[in-house]
Structure 1
Amino acid sequence: MSDAGVWEFVDDRGAAVTAVRKPERVVAYVRAGAALRDLGVTPVAVYGSGHDGAVLDPVKAGDLEAAGVPYLGPGRSLDEEALRGLRPDLVVEVTYDGKSPYALDEAVAERVGVPLVALSVGNETTLGEIIGRFGELGAALGAAGGGTGPDTGAGSGVGLGAGSGSRFDEVFGAVEPAEDALRAAVFDGGADVGVLVLSGAGRDQVHLARPHAWPELARLVELGVRVLDPGPGPGANWLTADWEHAARLRPDLVLFDSRANAVQPADLPPVGHARVAPWNPETPPSPAAYARFFGDLAEALRDHRPEAAPPR
């Protein structure tokens, strides 16, 4: 808020949005909306991506369903009249390339007459920067430091510098203990656990994540987790291969894409003797969500150490 009382926010494309008052009716891409909900800003509605169908994917929804937030379907087929009828003050998107909104054509927002902000979640940004920017937007939209409970937060462990005030520090401080727990699990034998991250495409094909192409996977590497690289080949974020290639990487633990658009482990070939645990490639960029992710992975590393696995 400027001295003149005008609300302003500059998004990660460098686009400045100004309004005569703070936006109160926010429509968001589901990943962004789930993060804002965690931070204390409840959207009036959310929409999906081209991967999503007519029903909200519960893996991507976070606390949105429990809060009764309506789902408008995929952004590319969004009913403009339905959007206009919500009387939104702001649309919140993510961007992977720092230029274009991911799930909604910006022309739709322009025709409805609502400003759009897009925050970067691409691999040119660190996880700490991503979480921090959503925290800044949440605070700008009126969240008192963000968060819906004492388990929310992200601290200096992910490079935040989140702000000032005891409530803000409380909210953004809980990722640090989760990271500490993950480091401890790595130190206590977890460093020997080879972790392969993938998205199932069918019985003949699998997409293998490149660790440094995903901010949260890059952060895992920084924390000492042995995330396996699928090797050279086409694809910036994924290497598309067969299941035999995945098995040759000899993972001890597989993190599988648990979103509704991905094929799930029950319908896929096993990857050697690796155990499996879920991974959401669109984890809400909030302190609460990543604290849970780090905590769950710490438990998985403790449970999936190589000595606990059957002999190959």
Structure 2
Amino acid sequence: MSDAGVWGFTDDRGTELTAVQPPERVVAYVRAGAALRDLGVTPVAVYGSGHDGGALDPVKAGELAAAGVPYLGPGRTLDEEAVRGLRPDLIVDVTYDGKSAYALDEAVAERLGVPLMVLSVGNELTLSAIIGRFGELGAALGGSAVPAAHQDPEAVLRSVAARSDVTVLALSGAGPDQVHLARPHAWPELARLQELGVRLLDPGPGAGANWLTADWEHAARLNPGLVLYDSRANAVGPDAFPPVAHARVAPWNPETPPSPAAYARFFAELAALLQE
């Protein structure tokens, strides 16, 4: 709050948004919307990115589908009249560069006359800072408090990782001949896994800030014990890519909702995999 009776929030572009009361009808990019849903704020609708199609990707949806939240399609091809009909008083997107919205043309929000809130999910922030910012927004929008976990999933993962010699490679399948190999430092959640002691493999030098694009033979030469594969609908899954050495495979959502609940599940699942 900036003044009595005036709602305010400064986004990660440094843009201060104000209103006479907290926004109640939020339209959001699916990753942001899934996080807000976890934090007790249910969007009136969500939209996708340029990687998404006409149907909501179940991997990215979190609890949105179960809550009956409508999906409007990719953000760059939104039906503006359909959005207008929802009477939104806030649009929430994410940014990877700290400057521009990722999934929505900002001119759309301007034409609709709806404030656009943008929160960072890029590697200029730590994972805890990203989750914290979404928590602040959720609270500002009247979301419910997140109950404390019975067990700290990061502490469990740290303990398991200290006893494990399993090497882990995160990747996104691009086809039978090509794969995008994640650079751990470029992904806040992967960087956090390294801090917790998980033995993430770096794909090595080459072009690409977030990914090294290579062939599957390169991935196999890294000899991982566990492959975390991009499970989003736009990526190629393990049924369509060759074995990576003798590695086990497990799904990884590079757009996990930035909420404590979503990352607690991810850390718990990874801890279980490292113990197998």
Matched, 1:34 2:34: yes
In structure 2, what is the equivalent of residue 94 of structure 1?
94
Matched, 1:218 2:196: no
Shift of 1:2: 3.0
In structure 1, what is the equivalent of residue 161 of structure 2?
186
Amino acid at match of 2:239: A
Deviation digits for residues 67-87 of structure 1, max 9, x if unmatched?
000000000000000010000
Shift of 1:271: 0.2
Shift of 1:143: 1.2
4+ runs deviating over 6 angstroms: none
Instruction: Measure, in 2, the Cα distance between the counterparts of 1:137 and 1:42.
Output: 13
- Any conservation in 2 of the 1:9–1:18 contact (CA below 8 Å)? yes
Shift of 1:233: 0.1
Secondary structure, aligned partner of 2:239: helix
Match of 1:202 among 163, 175, 179: 175
Instruction: Measure, in 2, the Cα distance between the counterparts of 1:21 and 1:111.
Output: 22
Shift of 1:180: 1.1
Instruction: Measure, in 2, the Cα distance between the counterparts of 1:121 and 1:70.
Output: 23
Amino acid at match of 1:74: P
Shift of 1:175: 9.4
TM-score by length of 1: 0.87
Amino acid at match of 1:143: G
CA distance 1:58–1:288, change in 2 (3 Å):
same
Shift of 1:284: 0.1
Deviation digits for residues 80-134 of structure 1, max 9, x if unmatched?
0001000001000100000000000111011001001100000110000000000
In structure 1, what is the equivalent of residue 222 of structure 2?
249
TM-score by length of 2: 0.98
Amino acid at match of 1:278: P
In structure 2, what is the equivalent of residue 262 of structure 1?
235
In structure 2, what is the equivalent of residue 237 of structure 1?
210
Matching of residues 298-309 of structure 1 within 5 Å? 298-303=271-276
Secondary structure, aligned partner of 1:254: strand
**Where does structure 2 lack aligned partners over 5 or more consecutive residues?**
none
In structure 2, what is the equivalent of residue 174 of structure 1?
149
Identity in percent: 78
Indicate the RMSD between aligned Cα atoms, in angstroms.
1.0
In structure 2, what is the equivalent of residue 282 of structure 1?
255
